[in-house]
Structure 1
Amino acid sequence: MSDHHTVDLLVIGAGMAGLTAGARAVRDGLSVVVVEIGGDVGGSARYAGYAWTAPSHEVMERHNPGGDPSLKRALVDRFENGITWIRSTGVEVKGAQPVLSFGQGHQFDTHHYVDTCRRIIVEAGGELLLTTDTERLLLEDGAVTGAELRTSDGTRRQVRATSTLLATGGFQGDMDLRNKLVHPSADRMELRSNPHSRGAGHRLATAAGASTGLPGAGFYGHLIPSGVPFADPSDFVDLSLYYSEHALLFNLLGERFTDETLGDHLTTMALMEQPENRGLLIADARVFRDWVVGSYVEGAVAVDKFALAGRRGGRIGFAEDLDELAYLPEEWGYDGPAVRAAVERFNARTAAGADPVPGRRLDRLPLDQPPYYVIETVPAITFPFHGIRIDDRARVLGEDGEPVQGLLAAGSDTGGLWYRAYAGGIASALVFGLTAADTATVRATSGRGNRG
């Protein structure tokens, strides 16, 4: 086994968080090694296109009350500095624009960004190791001092580091961890992310004494048509039924069970709690015109998701009027008359200005413009909210609540920020990737001072 000289920062995972940290660190003069299990950098960031979050502490608290207060505050306070950092790399970032009903963010080319970060790291003398697995962290007197690696040809080596950052992207690719920490039926969900995020960060951290949580925190994902597997990464956006925020969603009993307008990403978690984790998403002509074939956010390419689901073999239905909703195909297993009656009740209450049950915070218009468009939908997972606990300096916390010396984490490996709520995964990876680099810089500088 070959040894590597001690570097200032070892980054495990070359996605948004890891590459951001590595690029920032080398610009600050640190020596850096980046390890990636896949054959290329970027991870799930290559499928994104926006960095966004809540624009204020008040908005963050309203939409994510169960999240860790210090992490929420750090994300809001440091977000604009993160956008400034992206621009400093030469990547174009567009002006601020609204995202969802409450967020604010910026569109940018994430492909260009992750490739630029890679170039910054390599040109500064940093080392990038692709198709390399991290087998274990090195521990000395309770502190993490690097890691033991194994390359694709079986060669093992040790990299010693003053700071080690875990940024492997979560554990959504590991079915056992999904079922244990997300939901007992989580293995049924399609994977809406890169396939390499299989819990390496979680396992490495817990073996080093890290704490994880929060229990029952949920996951980030979106509704997709049932029976339609993802064929390539473009499907992650094209097949996501974002318009569910304006439609009505029914379970197998023909019941609405959540306020759909809170967000497709939250409705996705709610559907996991329903019988067989599937439901019917119903839009009328207004919703179809304004939302199904419209852009989810400004600048996004519009896709007719109803037509796409039909072409790909999904369960779709078309009703000329409200009465036809009662005649759903028997093999689907839904109570058609109950669905029809529920839509009629919803329309009557909203037309009269009364609150429907469940409530409806936004889009309170009736769905009374035929025809009706029906898609059977199921949840898909992007990443879990349960993860490695960190403080607002990106330091991993042990079971005693104190930092595990030398160990940092950022991005989807972390837990605590979101609790059955969500306001921007790219933003979190950006902010805490930069924070991890800054913490590593302080440690490296302090160590050099002590040696001097």
Structure 2
Amino acid sequence: MLTVVVAGAGLSGLAAAISARETGASVVLLEKGKRDDVGGNAAFSGGLFLFRYDGPDDLTSIAEEFEPGMRAGKIDAPAYTSEAYAAELMAMSDGRADPRLVETLAARSLETMRWLKEKGVRFTFNRTVGARVRDGVLRVPPGQILTSTGEGMSRGFEVIKPLLRHADRIGVEIRWSTPLTDVVRENGRVTGVMTGDGTLPADAVVITSGGFQADRELRRRHLGPAWEDVKLRGTRLATGDGIMAALRAGAGDAGTWSSCHSAAVDPTMPSPGRSEASPPFPLHGFWLGVLVNRDGERFVDEGPGPWVKNYSKMGKAIMRQPGRVAYELFDQRTAARVADEFAGSAIPVTAPTLPGLAARIGVPAGQLVRTVDEFNRACTDEERTTGLTPAKSAWATPLDRPPFVAYHAVAGLTFTFGGVRIDPDGRALDSDGVAVPGLYAAGEATGGLFYGDYPGGAALMRAAVFGRAAGKTAATDPATPPSDHLRSPRAG
């Protein structure tokens, strides 16, 4: 029986371990943290999954639950095809994503959702991601995201718990508090790993230990000095160890190492510790109002649509502002919805007038009034602005119904975009596009798929699709030497 070692017990690692075990391998899953740390970044996520589907039957075959206000006797859900999924990913990467990875993610997403459901993950129609009941019909926009069941927006641990139970049940050996320190390579192929306890032989090694967002020096080197002290939204254990070990073992790098997923978050919330802890709450309501810096000026298009299409770049926009802070502003058109769906326990500042609000949040009153007045005049009946820089390209409604509401926001770093180069089946590739025998990778430890931005729900989908693929491949072809069919143009 082949032995597969998987490094990192997040979503991609659990998917890889389960897949390898169910393919017939003996599997050892290494986790740097304790059992309370299981889940990686997925544990602190909103549990969002974006996948292709042909219509409502595909959605209801996966999600049998409906959040309050979402249940209806009929569902209208136009298809979201693999081609549409791939086109959206390519557009949001400005055409830089590896097309093979893009096409694989899109094509395998639906079957992977069904696989997750078989393992016990429960999904629901979530009221915060675009679908609405109108005239007794649940109207689902193309590209509807389903989420795991749970409370609030940070519900990703509900994905991890059933997978962990399943891994235990089928005989995956999990070693807690056992970080990978290096990958062992002999005679051209990977033969095991080094841990604090010594050498662990293996026929194949799968790196699923996340990005490098929790390492201060790597943040400074790749993201820039301003990111050294950024607030973490994700796991404190993703320090790039697995990525660096894979590169030392001969893997090539891919993707943009200077970019990341970074959302607007409530600065009063601490960075998360154990898996069941809440991360700094993502303030995703910006698309319903306006975002201003401490000078009282707008600096970004809060559209062009619902938060799931552009939330992962808002933190980066805030990081470019004076003091690296911002304020999300609303009036009574949207304040109640924001508080209900998008603010969590964040405490807003309210005032009956804009000058009063400016005084309370510490921005120049005159400039804030001018900013809002200019924005209001630029709003059109089509809910977009004209003649305004930066524009708000969708969901633009005037802020003219006091009292006014503001939420203080800072950047929260979730994960980095650069990592190990892989093929669609999870093989780690060297700089020439040739597979490194015995080495595989998945999830946030890999690069080449996400660049400047990506659609919400694609990150957890990537973890599950490529984790599952890497585990199966590791269990079936670790003895295969490099061959010409793996050669490809360099990605990233």
State the TM-score, normalizing by the size of structure 2. Answer: 0.78
Residue 187 in 1 paired to residue 228 in 2? yes
**Taking structure 1 as reference, are residues 443 and 8 closer, same or farther at Cα in structure 2, changes over 3 Å only?**
farther
Is the CA contact 1:217–1:418 (under 8 Å) kept in the aligned structure 2? Answer: no
- 1:203 counterpart = 2:244: yes
Distance 1:441 1:51, change over 3 A: farther
Match of 1:301 in 2: none
Tell me the matched-pair count: 418
Aligned-residue CA RMSD (Å): 2.7
Unpaired segments ≥5 residues, structure 2: 53-84, 131-140, 150-155, 305-309, 482-492
Contact 1:96/1:104 (8 A) holds in 2: no
Q: Deviations over 1:53-104 (max 9, x none)?
A: 2642233333333322221211111111111111222433346988368743
Residue equivalent to 1:284: 331
Give, in whole Å, the separation in 2 of the partners of 1:431 and 1:293: 34
Q: Comparing 345-354 with 93-102, which one deviates more in the overlay?
A: 93-102
**Aligned pair 1:139/2:185, yes or no?**
yes
Bigger mean CA offset, 396-405 vs 383-392? 396-405
How many Å separate the matches in 2 of 1:392 and 1:15?
Answer: 19
Aligned to 2:299: 257
Which residue of structure 2 lines up, in the alignment, with residue 309 of structure 1? 346
Distance 1:214 1:328, change over 3 A: same
Q: Is contact 2:256-2:448 (8 Å) kept?
A: no
Work out whether 1:350 is the aligned partner of 2:392.
no
1:203 aligned partner, one-letter code: M
The two structures have a TM-score, normalised by structure 1, of: 0.84
- C-alpha separation in 2, matches of 1:229 and 1:118: 26
Alpha-carbon offset, residue 351 of structure 1: 4.3
2:208 and 2:375 map into 1 onto residues whose CA distance is 45
Q: Which amino acid aligns with 2:108?
A: R
Q: Specify the alignment match of 2:42 in structure 1.
A: 45
**Structure 2 partner of 1:384:** 416
C-alpha contact (below 8 Å) 1:181/1:386 kept by paired residues: no
Give, in whole Å, the separation in 1 of the partners of 2:181 and 2:437: 19
Measured in 2, the distance between the counterparts of 1:205 and 1:345 equals 52
- 2:49 counterpart of 1:35: no
> Does residue 288 of structure 2 align to residue 246 of structure 1?
yes
CA distance in 2, matches of 1:407, 1:439: 10
Residue 340 of structure 2 corresponds to 294
1:52–1:103 Cα contact (<8 Å) kept: no
- Greater mean alpha carbon deviation, residues 438-447 or residues 23-32: 438-447
Greater CA drift, 348-357 or 167-176: 348-357
Which whole-Å deviations, capped at 9, do the CAs of 1:287-345 have from their partners, x for residues lacking one? 2122x12325xxxxxxx54xx434xxxxx53231234345456xx4x333112201110
One-letter amino acid matched to 2:9: A
Which is richer in helix? 1
The CA deviation at 1:418 is: 0.7
Deviation at 1:236, TM superposition (A): 2.2
- Structure 1 window deviating more from structure 2 (37-46 vs 12-21): it is 37-46
Residue 227 (structure 1) shift: 4.8
The corresponding residue for 1:108 is 148
Shift of 1:10: 0.9
Work out whether 1:363 is the aligned partner of 2:395.
Answer: yes
What are the Cα deviations for residues 93-125 of structure 1, in whole angstroms up to 9, with x where unaligned?
Answer: 346988368743333355455344334444444
Percentage identity across aligned positions?
Answer: 28
Q: What is the CA–CA distance in structure 2 between the aligned matches of 1:437 and 1:204, rounded to whole Å?
A: 18
**Contact kept in structure 2, 1:391 and 1:397, CA below 8 Å:** yes
C-alpha separation in 2, matches of 1:96 and 1:317: 27
C-alpha change, 1:273 and 1:402, in structure 2 (3 Å) is farther
Q: Deviations over 1:5-62 (max 9, x none)?
A: x843110011100111111111111111111111113223223353422642233333
